[in-house]
Amino acid sequence: MQIKSLDSLLEDANKIVTKLSYEEACSKIKNGASIIDVREEVELNKKGMIKSAIHIPRGLIEFTLSLNSVDNPNNISENSTILVYCAGGFRSALAAKTLIDLGFKNVFNIGGFDEWVINGGEIQTKPNY
């Protein structure tokens, strides 16, 4: 078995997962996309989260959003549009690739939370689960 470095895993993810601009993300949100925040809870408590996002830490993404999961928030289906973000866009790239590997078809990385805030994106302070 070949062991991969983090850089290699990120390179693989970025080849598969489309990174959206702020404007592209806003357009998809207006059309009903689900937003997934994969940061840790301590990060949400410090800075808040994108308005209407669902909090699913990176370590739980496979369990919570698998197509067969009874915990699947908002009944996200294989054809739902899913936007994933974290603090800097790295965990979200890996999480988005994982979702694609699980069978979700319309998954996008929208990068980091600070990037969202700098562009004027709406935020909220209490997580959605």
Q: What is the pLDDT of residue 4?
A: 86
Q: What is the pLDDT of residues 85-120, one digit of tens each?
A: 999 999 999 999 999 999 999 999 999 999 999 999
Q: Which helix (H) or strand (E) holds 111?
A: strand 106-112
Apex CA 83: angle with CA 111 and CA 44, to 5°?
65
Q: Which of 6, 11, 22 is nearest to 115 (CA)?
A: 22
Going by their DSSP bridges, the two strands 34-37 and 54-55 should be labelled as: parallel
pTM of the model: 0.91
Residues whose CB falls within 8 Å of the CB of residue 42, separated by 6 or more in sequence, listed in order: none
Q: Shortest CA distance to 88 belongs to which of 54, 124, 53, 37?
A: 37
pLDDT digits (tens, 9 = 90+) for 3-60: 888 888 889 898 999 999 999 999 999 999 999 999 999 999 999 999 999 999 999 9
Amino acid letter for position 116: W
